[in-house]
Structure 1
Amino acid sequence: MSASIPKTNKVWTVEGMDGFESLKLNREAPVPQPSDYEVLVKFHAASLNYRDLIIPKGMYPFPQKDGVIPGSDGAGEVVAVGPKVTRFQVGSKVVTLFNQGHIGGSLDSQTVATGVGGVINGTLRQYGTFNESGLVTMPESLSYLQASTLSCAAVTTWNALYGLKPLVPGDVVLTQGTGGVSIFAVQFAKAAGATVIATTSSSKKAEVLKGLGADHVLNYRETSDWGDKAKALTPNSEGVSHIIEVGGPKTMTQSLKAIKIDGVISIIGFLGGVKDEQQPGFLDCLNSICAVRGIYVGSRIQFEEMNRAIEGNKIKPVVDEKVFGLEELKEAYQYMWDQKHFGKVTIKIE
């Protein structure tokens, strides 16, 4: 190992499911050495997702292992390469792929179990080894902090808008709230020439959404029937082409009211909780004549397509004004859990 690479580094792990107290910091964990097809990445930044918050709370519905290093999203620099690596070299700037085995096409039972920060050790550390196939080249137009937001939220959004029925100019996209996925949806949709209807809970956030390009903003606290209202805002009141559904059962009823015939509702999260007396069912989907699709991030091919669009359209990820240090991880988790953020919560790693 090069003399410039330390022998130990700071590493967070998730030990148990007792909430954020399950996050443990090891300040002297050994720096791993890359095997034949691996590279060693020195992380400069990472970002958080809702998934990261619910893993230590025991609420995550996908595979995970005890003692895992958390964090799916990270950007850094390659500082060492294995002898058979061909995709990267020392000095390459890279971003992690969420599901390490998902190169292209659909997920399967093997690739769905390769999630970084769930089953495979993640990004909330100073140094990490990854197979060369599980990384993408970082967009040159972005800083490390900005690039660290792409792995989960941005790729998920890209898959939602282009994975099943590609977004085309003139489509109408409905986004919910101001989390990472929703903000990326506004940016990607506007870049594609679509009309954007966004929902939020405050007038302050509404102004920021308009600044990002949202054509219409509905306050769901003031307009409980926002699904009907959104549909009325579309040409000939035909409905919305794509809906980025992050609320769960509590918002799905309104999404079904807003969607157009043959539109696509991409289910990404359940921020509004999973219990509701009026959960829509299969017949509601049939009555709306639409496609309802669950999304679990996306492939490396989609990631690379998205990065080209980001550079070509000069898209800048929205990063929350408060940036945390690596040792402040618990505070960052709580900050995001309390919904004090706007855009992506990032961790600067030194």
Structure 2
Amino acid sequence: MKAWLLKDFGLSNLHLEEVPTPVPRPGELLVKVGAVSLNFRDKAIVDGIYEPHRVPKPLIPVSDAAGTVVAVGEGVSRFKVGDRVNSTLYSRWIDGPPGPDEPAHCLGMPLPGGLAQYMIIHEESAVKAPDMMSDEQAATLPIAALTAWHSLMDLGHLEPGQTVLVQGTGGVSIFAAQIATAHGARVIATSSSDANLAKIKALGVSDGINYKACPNWEQKVLELTEGKGVDITIDVAGGQGLNQSIAATKVAGLVAQVGFLTGQTSALNLMPLIFRQTTVRGIAVAPRASFERMNPFLDKHRIEPVIDHVYSFAQAVQAYEHLARGAFGKVVIKIAD
């Protein structure tokens, strides 16, 4: 089969080559990959800033895939040949709290990922792909949609009428806006682009804040919420902006820390955190069971993934370059012809 191999850190070291097609072992599915989507995690792995000590070389990257089962290993019972499935990031996290070593069993690093014509997914970690979605659409779900869902619904216990703040207009933030709006919540979004704010407001977001024009954006959030702050903040930026997220969130509210776009470290001002009694919760996607709770909600509310661009399998490098420039929604690579 053809697969993209990361031979060393840096996008120039990602090469399309011929490799043996994997054979499913007991409990495993061989999936013909229809499409994959890129997340910031995938870029960070290539750049060498995401747990570089875990990255095997060569590596078939990318965790988020959708495709069709073409062969099964001995003892497989959850799926059969012909079923359409999604990958999940964590191959062993099925339900409940995560175990201490979940990152050691992630697809796309350190386990082989989906940027190939075929991939192996264990039957216990696979999820039935939504019937209403194409492979390109379904491939956007495993990290971006599921992170948003887990943050808002499983952990945030979002209720209709509450208010959510999302940062930027990437995949997680747009899915969070779509899910929260469908659930009857109000959504406020930040972005450095007025054009992107107009696009996300068209999805039901009530207010947009350009953080370049309004660097003290947390004050604007407080104005929009009559001084109270939002119930849940989806923080994709990290870095020093975490202090602003805490200030923008209501007393005893939740900051879901899902990303690190502006930095992996933060000098945290403890007094506001203490006095506001804020919960800052690290979010590393979710278990398979959460994925299976999310899909009926997406189906019920007819939520369609927002895809910025679909690249061909041969254009994987260009897809990574697009992600680095920024995208409104998801960047997808179509694998199967």
Q: Per the shorter chain, which TM-score range?
A: over 0.9
The residue number in structure 1 matching 2:329 is 343
What is aligned with 1:298? 286
Offset of residue 319 of structure 1: 0.4
Q: Which residue, out of 289, 294, 297, partners 2:277?
A: 289
Percent identical residues: 40
- Cross-structure match for 1:23: 14
CA distance in 1, matches of 2:32, 2:244: 44
In the alignment, the residues of structure 2 paired with residue 196 and residue 250 of structure 1 have an alpha-carbon distance, to the nearest angstrom, of 23
Task: Tell me which residue corresponds to 2:313.
Answer: 326
Aligned-partner residue type, residue 166 of structure 1: H
Residue 178 of structure 1 corresponds to which residue in structure 2? 169
Deviation at 1:330, TM superposition (A): 1.1
Letter in 2 for 1:266: A
Query: Match of 1:211, as an amino acid?
Result: A
CA distance in 1, matches of 2:101, 2:229: 37
- In 1, the alpha carbon distance for the partners of 2:214 and 2:161 equals 25
Verify the 8 A CA contact 2:174 2:329 in the aligned structure 1: yes
Contact 2:240 2:268 in 1 (8 A): no
In the other structure, the counterpart of 1:89 is: 80
> How far apart, in 2, do the equivalents of 1:64 and 1:185 lie?
30
Matches within 5 A, 1:76-225: 76-225=67-216
Say whether the 8 Å CA contact 2:14–2:317 is kept in structure 1. yes
> Structure 1: which amino acid aligns with 2:8?
G
User: d(CA) in 1 for partners of 2:60 and 2:148?
Assistant: 25
Q: Which amino acid aligns with 2:242?
A: M
Q: TM-score, normalised by structure 2?
A: 0.96
Q: Distance in 2 between matches of 1:223 and 1:293?
A: 26
TM-score, length-scaled by structure 1: 0.92
Moved beyond 6 Å, runs of 4+? none
Is the 8 Å Cα contact of residues 249 and 280 (structure 1) preserved in structure 2? Answer: no
Moved more, 191-200 or 161-170: 161-170
Question: Which amino acid counterpart does residue 245 of structure 2 have in structure 1?
Answer: S
Q: Distance in 1 between matches of 2:283 and 2:227?
A: 27
How many Å separate the matches in 1 of 2:57 and 2:214?
43
Shift of 1:338: 1.7
Deviation sequence 1:73-117 (CA, Å, 0-9, x none): 000001111231110011101000111111011112232321110
Q: How does 1:235-314 map onto structure 2 within 5 Å?
A: 236-274=226-264, 279-314=267-302
Cα deviation code 1:132-151 (max 9, x no counterpart): 01110001111110100011
Task: State yes or no: 1:53 paired with 2:67.
Answer: no
Distance of 1:109 and 1:280 partners within structure 2: 25
**Within the alignment, does 1:70 sit opposite 2:57 as a pair?**
no
Change (3 A) 1:283 1:66: farther
Rounded to whole Å, the distance in 2 between the matches of 1:64 and 1:164 is 30
Distance 1:273 1:111 in 2: 23
Task: Provide Cα deviations, 1:228-249, integer angstroms capped at 9, x if missing partner.
Answer: 2112212x42111000001112
- Structure-2 separation of matches of 1:133 and 1:40: 13
**Quick one: which amino acid aligns to residue 48 of structure 2?**
G
Q: CA deviation at 1:284?
A: 3.3
- In 2, Cα distance between the equivalents of 1:55 and 1:184? 23
Establish whether residue 10 from structure 1 lines up as the match of residue 11 from structure 2.
no
| 2:174 alignment partner AA | I
Is contact 2:61–2:108 with CA below 8 Å preserved after alignment? yes
Looking at structure 2, the residues matched to 164 and 338 of structure 1 have their Cα atoms a distance apart, in angstroms, of 31
Alpha-carbon distance between aligned partners in 1 of 2:247 and 2:101, rounded to the nearest angstrom: 36
Q: Distance in 2 between matches of 1:61 and 1:256?
A: 27
CA distance in 1, matches of 2:104, 2:271: 32
Amino acid in the other structure paired with 1:32: P
Q: Which amino acid aligns with 1:257?
A: A
Q: Distance in 1 between matches of 2:246 and 2:140?
A: 29
State the distance in 1 between where 2:120 and 2:220 align.
49
- 1:30 is paired with a residue whose SS is coil
User: What corresponds to 2:303 in structure 1?
Assistant: 315
**Conserved 8 A contact 1:97-1:135:** yes
Instruction: Give 1:287 deviation, angstroms.
Output: 2.6
Q: How far off is 1:64 after superposition?
A: 3.1
Contact 2:5/2:14 (<8 A) preserved:
yes
Residue 4 of structure 1 corresponds to none
Task: Please report how far the alpha carbon of residue 154 of structure 1 lies from its aligned counterpart in structure 2 after TM superposition.
Answer: 1.0
Change (3 A) 1:274 1:35: closer
Q: State the distance in 2 between where 1:126 and 1:275 align.
A: 37
- SS of match in other structure, 1:134: coil
The change in CA–CA distance for 1:218 and 1:298 in structure 2 (over 3 A counts) is: same
Q: CA deviation at 1:275?
A: 6.4
Task: Return the letter of the residue paired with 1:300.
Answer: R
Structure 1: stretches of 5+ with no match in the other structure: 1-8
Deviation per CA, 1:158-200: give whole Å up to 9, x if none.
1111232311111100000011000001001001110000011
Q: Which amino acid aligns with 2:319?
A: A
**Separation in structure 1 between the aligned mates of residue 55 and residue 91 of structure 2, nearest angstrom:** 14
- State the Cα RMSD in Å: 1.4
Larger deviation, residues 126-135 vs 283-292: 283-292
